[in-house]
Amino acid sequence: MPKKILIFDLNYYPDHVGGAEVAVKEITDRIPPDEYEFHMVCLGYDSKLPKESQEGNVHVHRIGFTKSNVELEDLSKFPLHYNKHLYLFWAPIKGMLLHRKLKFNATWSMMAHPSGVPQAIFGLFYPQVTRILTLQEGDPPEYMERLYKPIWPLFKRVFIKADVIQVISHFLEKWARDMGYTKDIVFIPNGASTESAGARADEATLQALRESVGKQEGDVMLISVSRLVHKNAVDDVIKALALLPTNYKLLVVGGGEDEDKLKALAETEGVGKRVIFTGHVDRTMTAQYRQISDIFIRPSRSEGFGNSFASSMVLRLPVIATQEGGIADFLFDAKRNPDKETTGWAVDKDAPDQIAKAVEEILAHPEQVKQVTENAYQMVTTTYNWNHIAENMKEQVFDKILKNNFATKEIFTS
């Protein structure tokens, strides 16, 4: 009889997924269904999606307001905008109704914000159900703490009542401690889809893609694969592009609430014709966009981990990034981290001039780039391999707290 785990996550496949959702799928798809049965309560958004469906190894239960043919920008408009607020209280009710029928052994929250709050409410009514909390946050802790001031005692319970916390970066481990969690913490990072990301598309496909984005002979294509939100700092990449020669172009892959603002900035900076916005694209296409590009740049203002960096390293793209949050766990700069094997080029946040200089340095030293990208590739394919990560999640988290029949929940060692 498999152990049953109820996952709380805001979104899930097939649409509008981010790093947390990728992690859930990559992990659960690799765990035998005869050992663990996963259910999830998430928002549906699009009326074309069924209320229930099987997505890989996860049985998905969708709630919330919906409308037809939803685009990414619709999520911030009426009525879908209210979904994420209602989710805090709607999701635990749905979870409790499911629990009466399915009898879950554990709940698993993907991020404290916002999914931890439904888990905490569920736990008020069913304290005997084990609680697993994964910290995947990319937003600054100060922002999230300020956001939850009106329900601060409940938000604190997300942390202090967890039976185990798994973090994807040491930056988030510190946050868990700052929030009052005293038990052991399991450090298991996110990974990169090394098989799909590393598979090169045929040349005809890539040439057609180059033509579609206007990449010509002699052009240097910079790329940022990102949600277009303030924390991901695509604005700084646009400002850096204005400092570089006219044969340098920027491919912005992804959509988000700041898209119109960024397009206006590109015009203001005089690089409107050199910045190509793809809008939201299927995640399976992002590898092809990387393959026609020369340098990956994402100078994040905050970051929990950043799957996008690792996926770029798999393709041996040179990576320019800040060392904010979890990025510091894997991006090591020759000057800033002389004791580490170099894996990228680090810049300060809010520093377009440093981005431009890093681009020039990369273009000027091809042999150095070859060594650095090989270092990064080897690191990602060994340390950040989803097969290893799923195995660690199963053994160090699920098996340890659900199969070892502890006398109390308090006994847990990582």
Q: Please provide residue 220's backbone torsions phi and psi, each rounded to the nearest 5 degrees.
A: -110, 115
Before 14, cis peptide (omega within 30)? yes
- Residues of the chain within CATH 3.40.50.2000 domain(s) are 3-191+385-402, 194-383
Q: What is the pLDDT of residues 142-201, one digit of tens each?
A: 999 999 999 999 999 999 999 999 999 999 999 999 999 999 899 999 987 765 555 788
- pLDDT tens, the chain, 414 aa long: 999 999 999 999 988 788 899 999 999 999 999 999 999 999 999 999 999 999 999 999 999 999 998 877 788 788 888 999 999 999 999 999 999 999 999 999 999 999 999 999 999 999 999 999 999 998 899 999 999 999 999 999 999 999 999 999 999 999 999 999 999 899 999 987 765 555 788 999 999 999 999 999 999 999 999 999 999 999 999 999 999 999 999 999 999 889 999 999 999 999 999 999 999 888 778 999 999 999 999 999 999 888 899 999 999 999 999 999 999 999 999 999 999 999 999 999 999 999 999 999 999 999 999 999 999 999 999 899 899 999 999 999 999 999 874 433 433 333
Q: What is the pLDDT of residues 29-65, one digit of tens each?
A: 999 999 999 999 999 999 999 999 999 999 999 999 9
Burial of 248 by CB count in 10 Å (0-12 exposed, 13-18 middle, 19+ buried)?
A: buried
The superfamily in CATH containing domain 194-383 is Glycogen Phosphorylase B; (3.40.50.2000)
Render pLDDT for 223-236 as a digit per residue (tens, 0 to 9): 999 999 999 999 99
At the topology level, CATH places domain 3-191+385-402 in Rossmann fold (3.40.50)
Q: What is the pTM of this model?
A: 0.86
